[in-house]
Chains A and B, each alone.
Chain A
Amino acid sequence: AQSVTQLDSQVPVFEEAPVELRCNYSSSVSVYLFWYVQYPNQGLQLLLKYLSGSTLVKGINGFEAEFNKSQTSFHLRKPSVHISDTAEYFCAVRWNTGNQFYFGTGTSLTVIP
């Protein structure tokens, strides 16, 4: 069965420190990968996506992620976080065998001043 795993439910990090949010999925056969951010009381906003090509993708707000086919991972990174990055982050995967987006359980990133 297809699944998306975000092992870290909560990640506290000090301001200006680097952060990595982990995402693993069940199968790398024809996948399309996404990271979304959800600020309090708001909808989901796309941070970045991997569709094909270069395995390192850059997104908005200084975030980037790397597609690793052999490890079936798509970890999100930022070299220096800001207070405004405090939010919930969701990894999502779309396989070309179905129409829906599968979401991980989310990682709550808290940036500490």
Chain B
Amino acid sequence: DTAVSQTPKYLVTQMGNDKSIKCEQNLGHDTMYWYKQDSKKFLKIMFSYNNKELIINETVPNRFSPKSPDKAHLNLHINSLELGDSAVYFCASSQGGFNTEAFFGQGTRLTVV
């Protein structure tokens, strides 16, 4: 059983399109995250939800909109895709409390052409 699963794994799309990435965790965690990993492997937090409530919203263009229908799911919708959005997007989850680790999905490699 995959603990944190993301779909799709690869996404190639043209500039200007709208796309979504889905994430589901079956660990019963309260908190979910979206991270962006750029071409230099740097990981940057984008959003975090706790029990469906947005708690972290870093400086991310408004074209990115997360949605959490329930605490097991956190989807990422991206409007008007740009070349600079090409990256690997990771979903992660963790249990409540600071002394817990994050569990990561396999990532979604987004390529905008």
Chain A contact residues, CB within 8 Å of chain B: 30, 32, 34, 36, 38, 41-46, 49, 51-52, 88, 90, 92, 94-96, 99-101, 103, 105-106, 108
Q: Would you list the 5 A-B pairs with minimal beta carbon distance, nearest first?
A: A43-B104, A96-B98, A103-B43, A44-B104, A43-B106
Q: How far is the CA of A45 from the CA of B92 in the complex (A)?
A: 11
Contact A94/B98 with A43-B106, A99-B50, A106-B42 known, Cβ cut-off 8 Å: yes
Within 8 Å by CB of A106, from B4, B41, B107, lies B41
B101 CB contacts on chain A under 8 angstroms = 34, 46, 49
Counting CB contacts under 8 A, is B66 at the interface?
Answer: no
Q: Is the CB of A99 within 8 A of B48?
A: yes
Within 8 Å by CB of A95, from B4, B35, B98, lies B98
Counting CB contacts under 8 A, is B55 at the interface?
Answer: yes
Q: Is the CB of B43 within 8 A of A90?
A: yes
Chain B binding surface SS class = strand
Q: Is the CB of A99 within 8 A of B55?
A: yes
Q: How far is the CA of A46 from the CA of B55 in the complex (A)?
A: 24
A51 CB contacts on chain B under 8 angstroms = 99
Contact A43/B90 with A96-B98, A100-B33 known, Cβ cut-off 8 Å: yes
